[in-house]
Amino acid sequence: MTFALSDPINDPDTLPRMFAWVTSARAETLEDVSFFSGAALNHLHLLLRREEVPKALLRDRLALRAAEACVAFSGRLERAGELRDAVHFLRPGDLPGPGGEAFVGWRRAVEGSVSVKALSRALPTFETCQIATWLDAGNGAPVTRAAVVLEAVLTEAPRAEVPTLILADAALAQALGWDHIVPLLAAGLKRTDLRKRGHDLRLACHRAVTASAVEIVRLAADLAWRSAHLEAVAPRLRARGASGAVKMFLTRDAVAPSALPLPDRAARRLCDRLVDLGAVRELTGRDTFRLYGV
């Protein structure tokens, strides 16, 4: 059975919104914060099952947000635009730099399944057996498992913020039965939280999960609407290779015209056409070396 974009099951406007009480109440005890994080995760879990949410695109954009947070934890000042440039304009043989490496690591982590094998590809500096040991360190409820893994990795590798947070989010995803990592912890934690342990770290993780889940729900609704609009205008595109280009925009945070399956000039024209149609945005504000995204 197929549904038109206007049908309620595929209409982005029908996506459920997070209950206001999840963020309006002030929680102090571990019992309270775990209740609110559980409610937020339950809402996010239901949202991620909706067909109209572009899950690969959402994860890729969240990977950028997580990388930006990790770069800030390490004391660097690179913002999202600089991280995009470091990855999307990388030439063969070039190194992306610390910020770019963080973004590459997060992108690989969210692309693959939640498995030791997939995580070993995203974290090549760690042994597969070590990754498996860390993932098995946590037990109990999802956020508790993530906090235990976070503490275990931080204890052994205190400066490895990116692998630590990827593994903690992987533990969370495994506990929730998700097929892919959804970056939650990095953007919600503060730099000082990474020095906490035990009870205090669990409190920080619950709060981080709640705050991030609320933002992800908002972002998912926005991307669902934008993706639906792109799919609606796609039949009006006449360029050969346009369908492949649309698929790339629906799964990637940002795309350079040179990466599209069209000749350079045709790719630039297609991007300009999509901007005119309001289906994608130019993300850099530059006249050259541009990037586009939903």
- For residue 122, being part of any structural domain is answered with yes
**Are 212 and 257 within one domain?**
no
Element (H, E) at 212: helix 198-233
80 and 199 both lie in a single domain: yes
Position 16 in a domain: no
If one counts every other C-beta atom within 10 angstroms of the C-beta of residue 248, the result is 14
Regarding whether 278 and 182 lie in a shared domain, the answer is: no
- The reported pTM is 0.91
Q: Which amino acid is at 238?
A: R
Dihedral angle, C-alpha 205, 206, 212, 217, nearest 10 °: 150
Query: What DSSP line would sit under 87-153, residue for residue?
Result: HHTPPTT---HHHHHHHHHHHHHHHS-SSHHHHHHH-TTS-HHHHHHHHTT--SSHHHHHHHHHHHH
User: How does pLDDT run across 254-294, given as a tens digit for each residue?
Assistant: 999 999 999 999 999 999 999 999 999 999 999 999 999 99
Q: Is the dihedral angle over the CA atoms 221, 104, 82, 290 positive or is it negative?
A: negative
Confirm whether 11 is domain-assigned.
no
pLDDT in tens, 108-167: 999 989 999 999 999 998 999 999 999 988 788 999 999 999 999 999 998 899 999 999
User: pLDDT at residue 6 above 80?
Assistant: no
CA pair distance 281, 294, nearest whole angstrom:
6
CATH classification at residue 268: 1.10.10
The answer on 156 and 259 residing in a single domain is no
Q: Name the phi and psi angles at 281, rounded to 5.
A: -120, 145
**Domain for residue 15, yes or no?**
no
Does residue 2 sit within a domain?
A: no
Closest C-alpha among 277, 256, 276 to residue 268: 256
137 half-sphere exposure, CB direction, 13 A CA radius: 22
Q: Are residues 52 and 185 in the same domain?
A: yes
Q: Is residue 19 part of a domain?
A: no
Domain boundary among 171, 194, 221: 221
DSSP for residue 91: P
**pLDDT above 70 for 12:** no
Longest pairwise C-alpha distance within the chain: 59
Quick check: is 253 in a domain? yes
Domain extent at residue 135? 26-221
Domain boundary among 180, 196, 221: 221
245 and 192: one domain? no
Q: 274 and 211, same structural domain? A: no
Place 8 in a pLDDT band, splitting at 50, 70 and 90.
very low
| Domain-embedded: residue 67 | yes
- What is the total count of domains within the chain? 2
- Domain stop point among 172, 193, 221: 221
Phi, psi of 285 (to 5 degrees): 75, 10
CA triplet 56, 62, 63: central angle to 5 degrees?
A: 90
